[in-house]
Amino acid sequence: MKTKLKVKGLIERKLENPKYRREFAEGYEAFKLEVQLLNALERNHLTYNDLAKVLHTGKSNISRDLRGGGIYSATVSRVSRMARALGLEFVPMLIPIKKAARILPQIEKLIAA
pLDDT digits (tens, 9 = 90+) for 58-113: 999 999 999 887 888 889 999 999 999 999 999 988 999 999 999 999 998 988 76
Residue at 9 is within a domain: no
Please, what sign has the CA dihedral across residues 31, 100, 84, 112? positive
Residue at 98 is within a domain: yes
Residue at 8 is within a domain: no
Query: CATH number for the domain including 42?
Result: 1.10.260
Identify the pLDDT of residue 59. Answer: 95
Residue at 3 is within a domain: no
Identify the pLDDT of residue 99. Answer: 93
Identify the pLDDT of residue 1. Answer: 58
Identify the pLDDT of residue 83. Answer: 96
As for how many domains the chain has, the answer is: 1
The radius of gyration of the chain from alpha carbons, rounded to an integer in Å, stands at 18
The boundaries of the domain holding residue 96 are 14-112
Residue at 1 is within a domain: no
Residue at 25 is within a domain: yes
